[in-house]
Amino acid sequence: MRRQVQLFILLLVVCDAFGQVSYSVPEEMAKGTLVGNIAQDLGLDVKRLKLGNARVYSGDNREYVELNAERGALLIRERIDREALCGDTTPCAVHFQIVLENPMEFYSVTVEITDINDNPPTFEKNEIKFIISESAVVGAKFDLERAVDLDVGTNTLQSYVLKPSDNFMLKLHNQADGTKNVEMVLQKPLDREKNDFIALVLTAVDGGEPQMSGTMQIFISVLDVNDNAPVFTQQVYKGTVSENATKGTTVTFVRASDADHGLNGKITYSITNTLDDVRHMFEINDENGEVKLIGRLDYEKKRHFQINVRARDNGGLTDSCKVIVDVVDINDNEPTIKIMSKSTIISESAKPNTVVTMINIQDPDSDEYGKVQCFISDNIPFVLKSTSNNFYTLVTDSDLDRERASEYNITVTCSDEGVPSLSSSVTLTLHISDINDNAPVFERSSYEAYIVENNTPSLSIFTVKATDADWNQNARVSYILEDSSLNGVPVSSYVSISADSGVIHAVRSFDYEQIKDFHFRVKAQDGGSPPLSSNVTVKIMIQDQNDNPPQVLYPVQTGGSLVAEMVPRSADVGYLVTKVVAVDVDSGQNAWLSYKLQKATDRALFEVGLQNGEIRTIRQVTDKDAVKQRLTVIVEDNGQPSRSSYSHC
């Protein structure tokens, strides 16, 4: 540093008896500045200096001062920097000799160099940086760098100032070497969340006039400590989610903030429920707080969830909140039909209103989705009655008839009122059991049968048949011959009937000529208890066989004697001589008789009426004709084979 000093004061010149002289001059004087009037101070005149060739001798040292012999004065030859010359050593002086010749003599000269305030205090660095935790306690000390001022005495460093002084104050410690240690002491706690960076200026001042100073910037980064817990934006969050929501559905977001910095402010979310099933149902994104569904909801099992969520910063501070999740019902359950009790079989005699089945309906859905209506198909003799909420009975509502319908498949269908509606159905098979309410019925209202006479006894004549609409034993038909009598003889001596098969057998051989027909009743009876029966009339007609030959009633054939008929000689042609009368006890063709002339004395004289058996002349009787004429007439029935008799005249 240079200073222009316009005025200066020459200090007192001291000559000592041994040819020594001292001066004092401030540093930094300009070249040519007068240091002292050496001629006068040494008591020499200028001539002696000139003649003696006076000069300055500095030896190996640098020559800061020169001699002006003309003027007998010492002048500054070269600018003197006290700090360069002496550092902090005081006092600081330049020593040299004035040497003369003729005669040779020398004088020692000491020039003291006094300090001027030409150096400000300086710091080695313009700035220093600190990183201080906000948790630093009051009284914590931070070493600062000292400043240096090359000047000495009052011109050198005197004190320090630190600004601003909100958080820190300065403390100086005197060192053994007289310097001062500078410390910055925390007097008010730091708070990173309010102020994370502080800039201070440390100023060092000296005592010179005018005063000089140097500054250094102090930058403090406030280091975060985890002094703030996370805070949720809400204590309770709400979410709704449909029970059929797919896995991965977002339920809600929770959010917490943390005033701290970096890791201390980094929040991790987690679900803290332990005992319930929440953690199987929901997960939280630990970074962004998204609550997601990961399980399958079922409104019918659980309608609300409370998720406890914790936010935690890296330093371990936490906050918690609740997420209330409401599950929204959808119509996902069809009604369940539960058979509480059922008959699989019911008697056809059951009265109307007989309970067949009791049913309970369950639909776990809520409200309309769980309201159920049940119905059965029409046109069956059953109705579904609702007894109380969700309970139904299936009852008969008219008479049953096993013979008309022996089995019912009754489908009960139940539907809820959701849109779309869900329904389910169940089919009940109900068998109708038999009672003996039907009598056997013959296939015909009456029977007629024919049997040819002369049958072999035990011949089966024919079969009657009755059926019974009932079932099993109630339908097992037995045939019974009803007692009656024929001409005073029990009918059972004519016919018998097989109880199982209804086959009617003859018991005897019939003779048409004795009995042509007869009738009796057959009863058909079922195996019910009590049994039911019906009866039918059976008429048996006996058919004729040609078992009788014609019998000649006239002329009466007695013991071989012939019957004589008289014919007058005058009888005309066609005269009725006689008539053969025959009968046949058979009937029909078997009794249809024809007459033929078999033998005759004179075949040309008589003829026999084929139908009526009349014997007539067919020519005039003459005298030539024999008195006795013999005729044999054969009477023949028309049976197959025919039977015949002879009549002789």
The contact set with ligand NAG (CB under 6 A) reads 407, 409, 429, 482, 535
User: Which residues are bridge partners to 252 per DSSP?
Assistant: 291
- For ligand NAG, give the closer residue by CB, 407 or 572: 407
Task: Give the C-alpha separation, 548 to 545, whole Å.
Answer: 8
Measured from the CB atom, the residue of 225 and 532 that comes closer to ligand NAG is: 532
CB of 530 to ligand NAG, least distance (A): 14
Contacts 24+ apart (CB under 8 A), 183-187: 183/141, 183/142, 183/143, 183/144, 184/141, 184/142, 184/143, 184/144, 184/218, 185/139, 185/140, 185/141, 185/142, 186/132, 186/136, 186/137, 186/138, 186/139, 186/140, 186/141, 186/142, 187/138, 187/139
> Which residues does residue 285 pair with via DSSP β-bridges, in sequence order?
none
Q: Least CB distance from residue 553 to ligand NAG, whole Å? A: 46
What's the closest the beta carbon of residue 563 comes to ligand NAG, in angstroms? 58
Closest separation in Å from C-beta 409 to ligand NAG: 4
Mind spelling out the 3-state secondary structure of 454-520?
CCCCCCEEEECCEECCCCHHHHCCEEEECCCEECCEEHHHCEEECCCCCEEEECCCCCCCCCCEEEE
Instruction: State in angstroms the smallest separation of the CB of 344 from ligand NAG.
Output: 12
CB atoms within 10 A of CB 371: 16
Residue carrying the six token digits 């002086």: 93
Name which of 127 and 407 has its Cβ closer to ligand NAG. Answer: 407
CB 19 within 8 A of CB 106: yes
Task: From residue 376, give the alpha-carbon distance in Å to each of 360, 414, 415, 513, 633.
Answer: 15, 9, 12, 71, 93
Least distance (Å) between residue 331 CB and ligand NAG = 30
Query: Which residue's CB is nearer to ligand NAG, number 342 or number 596?
Result: 342
**The pair of three-digit structure tokens given for residue 622, joined into one six-digit string:** 């003459």
**Pick 312 or 402: Cβ nearer ligand NAG:** 402
CA distance 411 to 482: 50
Distance of CA 599 to the CA centre of its chain: 121
Nearest to 162 by CA among 200, 211, 219: 200
Pick 446 or 472: Cβ nearer ligand NAG? 446
CB of 483 to ligand NAG, least distance (A): 9
Nearer to ligand NAG, 211 or 535 (CB): 535
Kindly report the length of the chain. 649
Q: How far is the CB of 430 from ligand NAG (least distance, A)?
A: 10
What pairs with residue 291 in β-bridges?
252, 284
541 within 8 A of 449, measured Cβ to Cβ: yes
Residue placing its CB nearer to ligand NAG in the complex, 24 or 525: 525
Count the Cβ atoms, other than its own, within 10 Å of residue 458: 11
Compute the least distance from the CB of residue 407 to ligand NAG, in Å. Answer: 5
Residues forming beta bridges with residue 75, ordered by sequence position: 34, 66
Amino acid at 225: V
Nearer to ligand NAG, 61 or 429 (CB): 429
Q: Residue 143's beta-bridge partner residues?
A: 183
| Least separation in angstroms between CB 499 and ligand NAG | 16
Choice between 285 and 429, CB closer to ligand NAG: 429
Report which residue type is found at 68: N
Nearest to 646 by CA among 566, 549, 576, 564: 549
| Smallest distance, ligand NAG to C-beta of residue 349, A | 20
Instruction: With H, G, I as helix, E, B as strand and everything else as coil, classify residue 39.
Output: helix
Q: How far is the CB of 614 from ligand NAG (least distance, A)?
A: 54
Vertex 544: Cα angle to 540 and 547 (nearest 5): 140
**How far is the C-alpha of 128 from the C-alpha of 184, rounded, in Å?**
13
Closer CB to ligand NAG, 364 or 381, in the complex: 381
* CB nearer ligand NAG, residue 444 or residue 630: 444
SS3 576: strand
With 0-12 / 13-18 / 19 or more C-beta atoms within 10 angstroms meaning exposed / middle / buried, residue 351 is exposed
Report the residue number, 81 or 482, with the smaller CB distance to ligand NAG: 482
DSSP code of residue 352: T
Q: What are phi and psi of 599, to 5 degrees?
A: -130, 145
Our CB check for ligand NAG shows the closer of 442 and 510 to be 442
Question: Token pair 């008479």 is at which residue?
Answer: 399
Query: Of 108 and 413, which has the nearer Cβ to ligand NAG?
Result: 413
> Shortest Cβ distance from residue 408 to ligand NAG (Å)?
6
CB of 523 to ligand NAG, least distance (A): 6
Sheet (strand 446-452) strand order = 446-452, 533-543, 517-525, 478-481
Q: Please say whether the beta carbons of 282 and 309 come within 8 A.
A: no
Smaller CB distance to ligand NAG: residue 298 or 437?
437
| Residue 561 DSSP symbol | B
Q: Cβ of residue 411: shortest distance to ligand NAG, in angstroms?
A: 10
Q: Least Å distance between CB 533 and ligand NAG? A: 7
Cβ within 8 Å of residue 146, ≥6 positions away: 123, 179, 180, 181, 182
